[in-house]
Structure 1
Amino acid sequence: MTAATEEITALPATALPATALVRAIRTGELSPVEVTEAALERIGQLDGSLHAFCELTADLAMSQAREVADALALGAELGPLAGIPIAVKDLIATAGIPTRCGSPAYRDFVPDEDDVVVERVRAAGAVILGKTTVPEFGYSGVGHSPISETARNPWNPAMTPGGSSAGSGVAVATGMAPLALGSDGGGSIRIPSAHCGIYGFKASMGRVPAYPGCRDERFPGISSWESLEHIGPMTRTVDDAALLMSVLAGPDPRDRHSLPAGDVDWVGATRGGIRGMRVAFSADWGYLAVDPRVREVAARAAGVFATELGCAVTEVDPGWDDPYQAFWSLVVNDTDLAGMRAMVATHGARMSPHLVELVTRGWTAEELTDGQTARKRLVNRMWRFMADYDLLLSPTLTVPPFPVHMQGPERVEGRMVASTAWLGFTLPINMTGQPAASVPAGFTRDGLPVGLQIVGRHLADASVLRASSAYEQAAPWADHWPPMVAGTGG
């Protein structure tokens, strides 16, 4: 028996990294059908209490797995994700599969076309398990909506897994799926990755094209966040994220923001050390209220870059202003207010109150243009700051997971804060469009995950992946499973 076979028999298939599954499927040690059956069994064991999925596509998944198995038997050329189960966030369009976006207004919506990223993972041979739970239209950092069960954190089901890619985070953290697609307009890949103890990567704006999501004017609510949104991988390992990025990245004429391909070797980007890199660390960016438990864990993780990875780490106060209010004016400026207000007129009593308030408020032209000016100011301050550093580290979030019924904590460090101010580390990086990742940094003393955010310079995606991989090797996390999962073979 080979070492690889011993590893496979010791764990359920979906607990293995996607890169290991790719090898096992190609060598015949596992079949795509076995892997998909293992994923569906895992979902059946756990999802009744965690609600990662709002739409399970078991028949489709088995059909796709059989197609891969048949191609393998014929010796056909396989795509890079052939036979690998993947979960898709329910804000990402899937042809023929309901995409309800957590909203009563889209309860019966079935897209007639795939999002670009879904086209690409299908073409690469991935097996689509279903759609994952989101808050309404993604206008929240948690996991509850008016039309689906509330997603729950597998480390403590009384707590939120974060959002808006809530179900994707839960699916990967529990081994229901080795890969998941998330989207990130204000941190929505990084937030649940931090709260669920997994890896989440937001590439530079334009690396991964989006359409029809954010781009199709026919669909109010879905056609929002155009200048802020990113789509990307949520995984258990950095290599898995790089593998998925190799499929997702590259230009598409349907997305005017998409960048040319060719300047990043995604799979190779995780190789090599980061010794000598200049790294800035800030526990609060000079203005955020941060839970002391988060400060402690994040500071310890940042210390690894100096003590074990050979970086020159400097604790800093970046010196910019809090862009929190400006961020929300940018969201509104990207929103079809006329369409959303018409939707509220019909469905408002059943929609999320915070969303209704946001889109019905009387925004002034000055508030909206002030948001654009604030973004320019932040971008300029950021590139000047990053001229002295290769990476910027911070906590991913200001707090650890909190109870599921909340939009956010009302107090942090004894200070009253806005309900979404706990996202203060993630929002600005959507305004600048820089690459960023959340890596598992450790746990609070009561066993809740904390993430460390790694931010790179504009277009320095490879640096973020390489730094993430170096940190992963120094402080491995992929074998840490929630206690409730350990009892199911994880």
Structure 2
Amino acid sequence: MFDPLLDEDATTLAKLIRDGEVSAREITQATLERMEQREPHIHAFCTPTPDIALAQAKSVDAKRARGDTLGALAGVPFAVKDLICTAGVKTTSGSVAYKDFIPEDDDITVERLLAADAVMLGKTTAPEFGYSGVGHNPLFPSPRNPWDLNMTPGGSSAGSGAALAARMCPLALGSDGGGSVRIPAAHCGVYGFKASMGRVPLWPGCRDERYPGVSSWESLEHIGPMTRTVRDAALMMSLMAGPDMRDRHSIPCSDVDWLAAPEMPLRKLRIAFSADFGYVAVDPEVRKVVSAAAERFARELGCELELADPGFSDPGAAFGALVALESDLTGMRKMMSEQGENMSPHLVAMLQREWRAETFTDAIATRKAVSNSLWRFMQRYDLLITPTLATPPFPLNMQGPEIIDGRMVRSDHWLSFCFPFNFTGQPAASVPAGLTASGLPIGLQIVGRHLDDALVLAASAAFERIQPWNHHQPAFTGIA
């Protein structure tokens, strides 16, 4: 009876619940039943919380029965990445060291969504401490891509992307230290938005020095919405954005009308399109699909599109060094000595490396150079469009392809379009651009100038109007 409603967006669901056309409990129960059917195939959720979800839904219905004003997410179910803290609910960060960790506090974003009467379905699987672009960790089965169960959904917000694509929730929280909202959004055919650095405050994640691993990535990490529509992401941003004294990086947000942003008409924008940054090996199907999507901005939205590269060289090594610099190497090396073989091999390799101070300072200099290249470049353009990723989804149990378009590359090369905008803190979104010949999603990345979040949302929504994606969904072969 309620199954078709589960394919509605969050904005629509909240209105239906607010108007009394359906109860929060009915939506939550139907969502949990869908999870029971699909989750054994997808492995998106590592810690489902059905009892908590039903209790929260009951509370929403009770508020409505009393005539109380309901929050903006009245009874809408959402999922939370397992790197994001939830008070009283296990938050493992994908690590054996934290397999029984129950935080004392909600992360600020969870706190704000719950205050808006959202209903938490549980925690979604992520790689250990987020140190990977895919979803493998030592504790839980790897999430699978609902479009093809043999393929990765991307990461590190792997479970969140898979849960959205499998229609097991309309909203999810992801975190993005090097692309980890945008990566699974691209691979799963959903929308992912990384706001400007500081728009969405973080705490205790990345900020609490008591928890090695959990406390990493301080100047790179963002928390962002993952949704099936742009207006749902804007709705989440309207609730999550705004300063908090617990995050020294957080900034005021009074310059953005989040709810109005998707409706903004696009003036005649000047847009740069870079298919490869001048150095990235890009899968031919990705190049073809993204190029066709970019051309629609000129042909149908009246924008001026110009082929142009930002002009910096590959900063991949600098990104790895900055991640190590912002990790608690002392605490995590102690953890490694205790956990040993229970830790992810690529994480162990990072911790075993003898890092030099010059490597870190060189990385800082590279970040400055990339940031300076981009602000100078963006003086000439309103937006930059790129592929989100260099490849379509690839098979599970890989960190990344080592050959792309006939070139031998690093296993993380496929992420090359994402992490530069964690260096700069610019707003960036991944929108579904189309499908490969075999039916796998490809993402288009839309990047704005520093603090021009509203224009990124507006451009995303304009593209969504001319090339809608929410009606496309996986076939769920072999799934009820």
TM-score with structure 1 setting the length:
0.97
Matches within 5 A, 1:159-238: 159-238=151-230
- 1:249 — aligned with what? 241
Structure 2, gaps ≥5 residues long: none
For 1:70 and 1:128, how far apart are their aligned partners in 2?
A: 17
Q: Deviations over 1:320-369 (max 9, x none)?
A: 11111111111111110000100000012111000010122001000001
Alpha carbons 2:38, 2:479 under 8 Å: kept: no
- Which deviates further from its counterpart, 269-278 or 473-482? 269-278
Q: Deviations over 1:105-159 (max 9, x none)?
A: 1111111111111111111111000000001000001011110011000000000
Q: 2:135 aligns with which of 134, 143, 147?
A: 143
Q: Deviations over 1:398-420 (max 9, x none)?
A: 00000111010011111111111
Q: 1:100 aligns with which of 77, 86, 92?
A: 92
SS of aligned partner of 2:89: coil
For 1:325 and 1:153, how far apart are their aligned partners in 2?
A: 28
**Given the alignment of the two structures, is residue 29 of structure 1 paired with residue 7 of structure 2, yes or no?**
no
Residue 55 of structure 1: how far off its partner (Å) = 0.3
For 1:428 and 1:146, how far apart are their aligned partners in 2?
A: 28
Alpha carbons 2:182, 2:430 under 8 Å: kept: yes
Matches within 5 A, 1:91-490: 91-484=83-476, 488=480
SS of aligned partner of 2:173: strand
- 2:73 — aligned with what? 81
For 1:12 and 1:63, how far apart are their aligned partners in 2?
A: 23
For 1:410 and 1:348, how far apart are their aligned partners in 2?
A: 27
SS of aligned partner of 2:264: coil
Alpha carbons 2:3, 2:30 under 8 Å: kept: no
Alpha carbons 1:13, 1:38 under 8 Å: kept: no
For 1:34 and 1:233, how far apart are their aligned partners in 2?
A: 24
SS of aligned partner of 1:12: helix
For 1:339 and 1:300, how far apart are their aligned partners in 2?
A: 48
For 2:2 and 2:296, how far apart are their aligned partners in 1?
A: 31
Alpha carbons 1:273, 1:309 under 8 Å: kept: no
Aligned length: 480
For 2:104 and 2:32, how far apart are their aligned partners in 1?
A: 26
For 1:12 and 1:246, how far apart are their aligned partners in 2?
A: 27
Residue 318 of structure 1: how far off its partner (Å) = 2.0
For 1:449 and 1:54, how far apart are their aligned partners in 2?
A: 24
Alpha carbons 1:152, 1:160 under 8 Å: kept: yes
Residue 14 of structure 1: how far off its partner (Å) = 2.0
For 2:118 and 2:431, how far apart are their aligned partners in 1?
A: 24
Residue 319 of structure 1: how far off its partner (Å) = 1.5
SS of aligned partner of 1:429: helix
**Given the alignment of the two structures, is residue 44 of structure 1 paired with residue 30 of structure 2, yes or no?**
no
For 1:153 and 1:102, how far apart are their aligned partners in 2?
A: 18
Letter in 2 for 1:68: V
- Which deviates further from its counterpart, 286-295 or 270-279? 270-279
Q: Deviations over 1:135-189 (max 9, x none)?
A: 1000001011110011000000000000000000011111101000000000000
Alpha carbons 2:136, 2:142 under 8 Å: kept: yes
For 1:183 and 1:166, how far apart are their aligned partners in 2?
A: 10
SS of aligned partner of 1:314: strand
For 2:2 and 2:104, how far apart are their aligned partners in 1?
A: 42
Q: Deviations over 1:191-235 (max 9, x none)?
A: 000000000000000000000000000000000000000001000
Residue 239 of structure 1: how far off its partner (Å) = 0.3
SS of aligned partner of 2:476: helix
Letter in 1 for 2:92: R
Residue 275 of structure 1: how far off its partner (Å) = 3.6
Structure 1, gaps ≥5 residues long: 1-8
- 1:5 — aligned with what? none
Q: Deviations over 1:223-259 (max 9, x none)?
A: 0000000001000000000001111100000000000
For 2:47 and 2:212, how far apart are their aligned partners in 1?
A: 22
Q: Deviations over 1:47-68 (max 9, x none)?
A: 0010000000000000000000
Residue 421 of structure 1: how far off its partner (Å) = 1.0
Alpha carbons 2:448, 2:455 under 8 Å: kept: yes
Residue 453 of structure 1: how far off its partner (Å) = 0.2
Residue 10 of structure 1: how far off its partner (Å) = 8.3
Letter in 2 for 1:388: R
Residue 284 of structure 1: how far off its partner (Å) = 0.2
For 1:485 and 1:417, how far apart are their aligned partners in 2?
A: 33
Identity %: 60
Q: Deviations over 1:372-402 (max 9, x none)?
A: 1111111111000000000000000000000
For 1:102 and 1:241, how far apart are their aligned partners in 2?
A: 26
For 1:271 and 1:486, how far apart are their aligned partners in 2?
A: 39
Residue 273 of structure 1: how far off its partner (Å) = 2.3
Q: 1:59 aligns with which of 19, 30, 51?
A: 51
Letter in 2 for 1:102: G
Residue 22 of structure 1: how far off its partner (Å) = 1.1
Alpha carbons 1:22, 1:80 under 8 Å: kept: yes
SS of aligned partner of 1:483: coil
For 1:447 and 1:74, how far apart are their aligned partners in 2?
A: 48
- Which deviates further from its counterpart, 73-82 or 154-163? 73-82
TM-score with structure 2 setting the length:
0.99
SS of aligned partner of 1:270: helix
Residue 317 of structure 1: how far off its partner (Å) = 2.2
- 1:3 — aligned with what? none
User: For the aligned residues, what is the CA RMSD?
Assistant: 1.1
SS of aligned partner of 2:172: strand
Alpha carbons 1:205, 1:433 under 8 Å: kept: yes
